Amino acid sequence: MTHYDPNRYHRRSIRLPGYDYTQPGAYFITICTHERAYLFGAVVDGEMRLNEWGEIVRDEWFKTGQIRPYVQLCDDELVITPNHIHGMIWIVGDGVGAQRRCAPSFTTPPANVVPGSVGAIVRSFKSGVTKRINELRNAPGAPVWQRNYYEHIIRDERALDAIRRYIDENPLRWHLDRYNPERTGEDPLAREIWEMIHNPAGAARRGERLFAPALSSPPRSQEDKP
């Protein structure tokens, strides 16, 4: 049996060689701050209280969906913590046309990432946040984010539901969060999600179909929130 090891499996993003990261589907994204610094606010009594920089992160995240018609983002599929964010990106259409092609595998996406890909979307988001925060603190060129990010391809309803729950409950589980230096233990829900969506063999390399938002669980709009 393969055991969950956060230090081993979250050391870097897992980009599947030859996988087309522009194709429609759901992607679970985690981005950490530079050196895991607490930049975006604080968790108080199980509730994340954003500061001004945290509000910038939230604003830039949803601006991504406004300026890219092929990207859909939902309010209840984003959580901002003091030193990282978790969010779901839904690519719902072909945003790159003739430029669409398979993206190579990178640990840190270079400047020439494929237009319309997850890497290009994340890079643009991080750049927008960094620019606005550095303007406020008068520190041009100062890092806000770590260089890389983590993503998982969501392939089924069970993983989708578990990730939505993880995002929703994240501030309540801050005491178990692997990015909290004062955590009191491992998070069993994080373990469950890893076991569902982490596939070392690379299902996409075997030609498995990506979980598509056009199927039974499309992205929920903010108006659909319970």
> What does pLDDT average to over the chain?
77
Q: Using a cut of 0.85, tell me whether the model's pTM lies above it.
A: no
| Rounded-to-integer distance, Cα 22 and Cα 132, Å | 27
Looking at residue 20, what is its pLDDT?
65
Helix-strand-coil split of the chain, %, nearest 5: 35, 15, 45
Looking at residue 14, what is its pLDDT?
38
Low-confidence ranges of the chain (pLDDT < 50): 1-17, 95-110, 200-226
Closest by CA position to 82, among listed 189, 185, 188, 171: 171
Looking at residue 213, what is its pLDDT?
39
Domains defined for the chain, CATH in brackets: 12-200 (3.30.70.1290)
Looking at residue 23, what is its pLDDT?
74
DSSP state of 208: P
Looking at residue 2, what is its pLDDT?
34
The beta-strand segments (E) located in the chain are 25-32, 41-44, 47-50, 71-72, 78-80, 84-91, 150-154
| Rounded-to-integer distance, Cα 71 and Cα 62, Å | 10
Question: Would you say how long the chain is, in residues?
Answer: 226
Looking at residue 53, what is its pLDDT?
98
Looking at residue 198, what is its pLDDT?
65
Beta bridge partners of 49: 42
Tens digit of each residue's pLDDT (9 = 90 or more) over 76-131 = 899 999 999 999 999 987 544 323 322 333 334 445 578 889 999 999 999 999 99
Q: How far apart are the first and last CA of the chain?
A: 38
Looking at residue 19, what is its pLDDT?
56
